[in-house]
Amino acid sequence: MSAHVLRDALVLGERRADILIEDGTITALADSLDAGDAREVDATGLIALPGLVDLHTHLREPGREDAETVLTGTQAAARGGFTCVHAMANTDPVADTAGVVEQVWRLGREHGYCDVQPVGAVTVGLDGTQLAELGAMAESVAKVRMFSDDGKCVSDAVLMRRALEYVKAFGGVIAQHAQEPRLTRGAQMNEGELSGILGLTGWPAVAEEAIVARDVLLSAHVGSRLHVCHVSTRGSVEILRWAKSKGWDVTAEVTPHHLLLTDELVRSYDPIFKVNPPLRSSDDVAAVREGLADGTIDCVATDHAPHPMEDKECEWSAAAFGMLGLETALSVVQLAMVDSAMLSWSDVARVMSTVPAAIGRVEAHGRPLAVGEPANVVLYDSGASRQWRSDDTASLSRNTPYAGRELPGRVVATFLRGRPTVLDGELAEVPV
Amino acid sequence: MIRHLLSSADLSKDDAVLILDTAEELLSVASRPIKKLPTLRGRTVVNLFFEDSTRTRISFEAAAKRLSADVINFSSKGSSVSKGESLKDTALTLQAMGADAVVIRHGSSGAPHRLAHASWINGAIINAGDGSHEHPTQALLDAFTMRRHLGDLDGRRVTIVGDVLHSRVARSNALLLSILGADVTLVAPPTLLPVGVDSWPVQTSYELDGALDKADVVMMLRVQGERMNDAFFPSAREYSRRYGLDTRRMRRLPEHAIVMHPGPMNRGMEITADVADSARSVIVEQVTNGVAVRMAVLYLLLSGSTDAESTEAREEA
């Protein structure tokens, strides 16, 4: 079996050490290790983090293999330093049965670039009317624990209550896409001064906040776990802060793009910046950064949403919502949170690995970098910098909002259970 | 002069005055027996209409033809657009045909902006109305009409009434009239004023009567009765009572004030027939002036480019 020794890595950006990886496990972590015939990896100056875990990835397979497949999506994930991604349920067919979630889970395993933990739909066909067979998905080999109708909100209050209650039986969590549908009919961008000027239908912050407020109350009422997807507004952060002060079992994620980009970009009418929830004001960006720094927001999740070019090279209202995120996530978090001294690298490990793994209940991920732990490791060069190019991607799609931007950092290597999926910044050959 | 006309905000005061002055000269062409100038001979203007608009399309077509341009009409009905061809492919097709100017009407806000900036096409782009964003040539013809009746617009009071939220005419007028120094008041129920209107260079009011006494111009916007289905107002009757212009309200206006409407009118909704057909109404004149203003815009944008033909065109004019 393979063995690697990562020489002189900065563990969590703090402590210099060699890391010995054998048979999928970290077997030694100390200065100047004698590594025998383990393959040497020069990690001088590189930060070692536990493999990243994404709670919010759209892999598009089955159904939209023109936009992304499990293979290309997990390759993009590996290039971004991820060792586990949660695949959202809005595929075609919808991941609302044990059969579909098992297929997606298996594809991830077979390709070997990144573990794929399927998210099950809350309602049949994401229709918001009838609960999907949540128990069957939980008991399948995919062991689904997170359920979401992401892309759509579970807007019916009774259905949301029942879903929250029902998943208590197997330690599940409902991940809510908080968007009051009536308040956002035809919505195109953040509602504010700019939407009025640009003549684009507004997506008001209150449409998110009203659902977040309702759901934290429901979660408290039934004593179940709620996870709020892609928090984007100051009001949502304030409601979550209040809910947490009550001790309620509520978690939340923020996307890298909501940590960095604002609605000013919509002035270009370039749909590359069209995303749901929409890019918000600079005040909202400040609020979600503060929320992530003080723990109100628990983790970062990419909402990686591949779309073919024809769905972006068009007029704004005809374009699809969504942007790529896996390969740029760590760089954007560095830029928005670490370079601004709001998070340390061990905080980054917490919000991009430990906590999301705990929320998704994936046991082999998000573990500490310590002897005896699974060897899921990413080596990251925070001193690098590069101008991002839309064609420099493993994804089948090109809809990155960062093209032409200078982003810091570079993922040098990713190890999944001891096997490199990325080495020297390039995808490794993964034996099937 | 600017290269494209996408928004009234693209215009400096000098640009706007130049367009209006040029339109004044070109208006005289309309009264000649032969209503044609050779100015844009050999140039191609495409009318690219993704939304029905007989009035605006015909106005642009007449303007281009009176300047001797070749005109191609491309409407979504009966063209490949209705077969699902993308905006990009349509633009590439027009580029391949050598369009010098594209006049675009589109239901999606920002579509002209995309055409102008996505490097699919080189010609000048003229926004003939995009979604609920802007309709700058309408604002220019409105300003032109006001100027003919009132002289310089600096310090003049213009009251614009109705569905500002969904109105591209209101946006373009608010911007252009402020550039020209007029004081604009937008009157609408709170539901039909956009979020953030406080930052616009205008006053706002929820009440019509108070905004009439000192107005030099009152412009009524089309309000679709269907808006009441989205609860923007309780009923067409209530809207009409609170925000419609009838003869009683018209009497509050100063003697010299004019009544405008960009059309098409909902008679009995935002304006009564008596007012629409009254002596104060300049609604039909707006249509006439539309051709002259669009001639001016086409002439100034197309002669702004540097090839020999446009130099010749400038000399001829």
B146-155 confidence digits (pLDDT tens): 999 999 999 9
pLDDT score for A35: 87
Alpha-carbon gap: A66 to the closest alpha carbon of chain B (Å): 18
Q: Tell me the pLDDT band of B31, cut-offs 50, 70 and 90.
A: confident
Residue B80 has pLDDT above 60, yes or no: no
Sheet (strand B124-130) strand order: B70-75, B44-49, B101-106, B124-130
* Cβ contact, residue pair A316, B114, below 8 Å: yes
Which fold would CATH assign to domain B8-134+287-316? Rossmann fold (3.40.50)
B114 touches chain A (CB under 8 A): yes
Q: Tell me the pLDDT band of B225, cut-offs 50, 70 and 90.
A: confident
pLDDT score for B217: 98
Residue B228 has pLDDT above 90, yes or no: no
Pairing of strands A47-50, A377-387: antiparallel
* For range B218-222, the mean pLDDT: 97
Beta bridge partners of A426: A423
The residue of chain B with its CA nearest to that of A198 is B133
Query: For chain B, what percent of residues have pLDDT higher than 90?
Result: 79
Query: For chain B, what percent of residues have pLDDT higher than 70?
Result: 93
Residue B308 has pLDDT above 50, yes or no: no
- Mutation for A interface: B114, B121, B164, B204, most A CBs within 10 A: B114
Domain boundaries of chain A, sorted by first residue: 3-47+373-427, 51-360
pLDDT score for B35: 83
Nearest to B123 by CA among B80, B58, B179, B74: B74
Contacts of B171 in chain A (CB under 8 A): 197, 199
* Cβ contact, residue pair B132, A270, below 8 Å: no
pLDDT score for B83: 57
Nearest to A255 by CA among A284, A223, A226, A230: A230
Neighbours of A247 (CB within 10 A): 8
Q: Of the given ranges (A380-394, B1-15, B23-37), which has the lowest mean pLDDT?
A: B23-37
pLDDT score for B229: 80
Q: Which superfamily is assigned to A51-360 in CATH?
A: Metal-dependent hydrolases (3.20.20.140)
Q: Of the given ranges (A45-49, A231-235, B190-194, B222-226), which has the lowest mean pLDDT?
A: B222-226
Residue B30 has pLDDT above 90, yes or no: no
* For range A191-215, the mean pLDDT: 97
Q: Tell me the pLDDT band of B303, cut-offs 50, 70 and 90.
A: confident
Q: How far apart are CA B76 and CA A284, in angstroms?
A: 40
Residue labelled with tokens 């802007």: B134
Residue B82 has pLDDT above 60, yes or no: no
- pLDDT tens digits, residue range A96-149? 999 999 999 999 999 999 999 999 999 999 999 999 999 999 999 999 999 999
Determine the Cα angle at A77 with ends A73 and A82, to 5°: 150
Nearest to A193 by CA among A274, A258, A282: A282
Which fold would CATH assign to domain A3-47+373-427? Urease, subunit C; domain 1 (2.30.40)
* For range A184-212, the mean pLDDT: 97
Residue B176 burial (10 A CB sphere; 0-12, 13-18, 19+): buried
Q: How far apart are CA A54 and CA A368, in angstroms?
A: 17
Residue B195 has its nearest CB partner, among A196, A269, A270, at A196
Beta bridge partners of B101: B45, B124
B86 touches chain A (CB under 8 A): yes
Q: What is the mean pLDDT of chain B?
A: 91
Sheet (strand B183-187) strand order: B203-205, B183-187, B157-161, B217-220, B258-260
Q: Tell me the pLDDT band of B306, cut-offs 50, 70 and 90.
A: very low
pLDDT score for B84: 65
pLDDT score for B171: 97
Return the number of CB contacts < 8 Å for A and B. Answer: 76
pLDDT score for B314: 41
Query: For chain A, what percent of residues have pLDDT higher than 70?
Result: 99
Residue B296 has pLDDT above 50, yes or no: yes
Q: How far apart are CA A40 and CA A22, in angstroms?
A: 12
Domains B8-134+287-316 and B136-286 fall in the same CATH topology: yes
Contacts of B114 in chain A (CB under 8 A): 269-270, 314-316
pLDDT score for B29: 81
Residue B166 has pLDDT above 60, yes or no: yes
B237-to-A111, B209, B264 alpha-carbon distances in Å: 65, 17, 19
Q: Tell me the pLDDT band of B75, cut-offs 50, 70 and 90.
A: confident
pLDDT score for B74: 85
Contacts of A273 in chain B (CB under 8 A): none
Q: What is the mean pLDDT of chain A?
A: 97
pLDDT score for B315: 41
**ipTM score of complex:** 0.91
Q: Tell me the pLDDT band of B46, cut-offs 50, 70 and 90.
A: very high
A197 touches chain B (CB under 8 A): yes
Q: Of the given ranges (A111-125, A173-187, A250-264, B82-96), which has the lowest mean pLDDT?
A: B82-96
Contacts of A268 in chain B (CB under 8 A): 113, 117
Neighbours of A401 (CB within 10 A): 24
The residue of chain B with its CA nearest to that of A195 is B195
* Cβ contact, residue pair B195, A270, below 8 Å: no
Active site residue A303: yes
Alpha-carbon gap: B115 to the closest alpha carbon of chain A (Å): 9
Residue B307 has pLDDT above 50, yes or no: no
DSSP E strand boundaries for A198-328 = 202-203, 226-228, 250-254, 299-300
Backbone φ, ψ for residue A71 (5° rounding): -60, -55
In contact, A336 and A261? CB cutoff 8 Å: no
A183 touches chain B (CB under 8 A): no
Q: Tell me the pLDDT band of A320, cut-offs 50, 70 and 90.
A: very high
Q: B266 — alpha (psi -120 to 50), left (phi > 0) or beta?
A: beta
B234-to-A14, B115, B194, B208 alpha-carbon distances in Å: 64, 39, 18, 17
- Please state the length of chain B: 317
User: What Rg, from alpha-carbon coordinates, does chain B have?
Assistant: 19
Q: Which CATH number fits the domain B136-286, given the four candidates 3.40.50.1370, 3.40.190.10, 1.10.3720.10, 3.60.15.10?
A: 3.40.50.1370
Contacts of A191 in chain B (CB under 8 A): 195
Domain boundaries of chain B, sorted by first residue: 8-134+287-316, 136-286
- pLDDT tens digits, residue range A370-410? 999 999 999 999 999 999 999 999 999 999 999 999 999 99
pLDDT score for A430: 78
- pLDDT tens digits, residue range B262-295? 989 999 999 999 999 999 999 999 999 999 999 9
Nearest to B218 by CA among B251, B181, B266, B178: B251
